[in-house]
Amino acid sequence: MYKKIFKAMSLLLCLTGYAFSGAAIAEPDLPVIGITKIKAPVNDSYRGSRVNAKQDNFQTMLETQMAQVGRFKIIERNRVDEILGEQGLNNEFGDGQTAGGGFNVSGVDYLVYGAITKLGQRKKAMATGNFSTASLITEFSADIKVVDASTGEVRKAETVSVEHKSAGGMATGSYASVNGAADPLSDIQRIAAKKVAALIATSIFPIEVVKGGDIIYLNYGSAILDQGDIVNAYRPGEELIDEATGINLGAEEEFEGELEVTQVTAKFSKAKLRSGNPPSKGSLIRIKTKASENSSSNGTPGQKRGRKI
């Protein structure tokens, strides 16, 4: 009899332990996001344009960046098309019917709509005496909407713009040097995809200080931040509520200091204080300057490297 009781207790403990271990490793309740087909009106064939924005390539990059953020569950592309087809949604970016009624898409929290609205290049040149220099700047913009899949409400609408030095050269006397990117469009799309992922992620889960001190730890890693990024820290204050509508207008914020990201890992980043006061745990972080967009190779633009005049 005692043996039967012992076996029953052992089985109960095993089952209890299994239940607790299962709870410990259960997946967090993350928002489910579907990224719809990225449009490219800049490719308008009626204008006789030769622009090829490679929107499928940009969509793949965006999906990769969103997955690397680690704060969302990303629906596969073919599943997104299937869901949109089942719901009879009009998958045209910016269409009023798409952003209006007819939603309540099961299994998805947010839908991301996007369009590449600018793609071009401009030249910068300077010459004096026997010396001349020239550079080629690639410009890229994408309009992004994040839509609540249950109501059709546009939760976020932003334009992300990127400029990147894709080629440069100089000549002096009989010496000349030229260098350029192998695929400047892919390079600038990667930068833009990272900015879009940051825009979407931080609108739901802000960048925050998780540990202060001489080394400041931030809650995002390489999917959002890069070594050399300049960010600002703010201390959140009292929330402001519009009494007439009940709308949350945000919160008062107190600027604390400017930081530089010194190291990034897959899940978190380290930063150091550049100016101001050191932030503490819970301080909000906003990106000021991306290192990937800094075309200068000799220091931060605008920063004097020698004696001031």
Could you give the CA distance from residue 211 to residue 77 in angstroms, rounded to a whole number? 37
Judged against a pLDDT cut of 80, whether residue 279 lies above it is answered with yes
Judged against a pLDDT cut of 60, whether residue 297 lies above it is answered with no
Closest CA to 261 of 299, 294, 296, 222: 222
Could you give the CA distance from residue 162 to residue 114 in angstroms, rounded to a whole number? 15
Is residue 133 very low, low, confident or very high in pLDDT (cuts 50, 70, 90)?
confident
Per-residue pLDDT tens over the stretch 57-78 = 999 999 999 888 888 888 887 7
**Strand extents, DSSP E, the chain:** 32-35, 73-74, 110-128, 131-148, 154-172, 175-180, 207-211, 216-218, 230-241, 248-264, 269-276, 284-289
Positive or negative: CA dihedral 234, 239, 242, 245? positive
Judged against a pLDDT cut of 70, whether residue 10 lies above it is answered with no
Judged against a pLDDT cut of 80, whether residue 180 lies above it is answered with no
Bridge partners, residue 304, by sequence: none
What architecture (CATH level 2) is domain 206-297? Beta Barrel (2.40)
Judged against a pLDDT cut of 70, whether residue 261 lies above it is answered with yes
CA angle 265/270/272 to nearest 5° reads 155
**Sheet with 32-35, edge to edge strand ranges:** 73-74, 32-35, 110-128, 131-148, 154-172, 175-180
What value does the mean pLDDT of the chain take?
A: 79
Q: Where are the domains of the chain?
A: 29-205, 206-297
Residue 43 dihedral angles phi and psi, to the nearest 5°: -90, 15
Average of per-residue pLDDT across 80-96: 57
The CA–CA distances, whole Å, from 180 to 125, 166, 167, 193, 291 equal 15, 6, 4, 21, 18
Question: Can you give the pTM of this predicted structure?
Answer: 0.70
Q: What is the pLDDT of residue 97?
A: 46
The contacts found for 302-305 with CB under 8 angstroms, 24 or more apart, are none
Judged against a pLDDT cut of 60, whether residue 21 lies above it is answered with no
How many residues appear in the chain?
309
- Contact between residue 142 and residue 65 where contact means Cβ atoms under 8 Å apart: no
Could you give the CA distance from residue 273 to residue 264 in angstroms, rounded to a whole number? 16
More confident residue, 98 or 203: 203
Lowest mean pLDDT among 79-83, 178-182, 229-233: 79-83
Closest CA to 106 of 141, 137, 75: 75
Is residue 255 very low, low, confident or very high in pLDDT (cuts 50, 70, 90)?
very high
What architecture (CATH level 2) is domain 29-205? 3-Layer(aba) Sandwich (3.40)
Percent of the chain with pLDDT over 90: 29
- Contact between residue 147 and residue 154 where contact means Cβ atoms under 8 Å apart: yes
Average of per-residue pLDDT across 185-191: 90
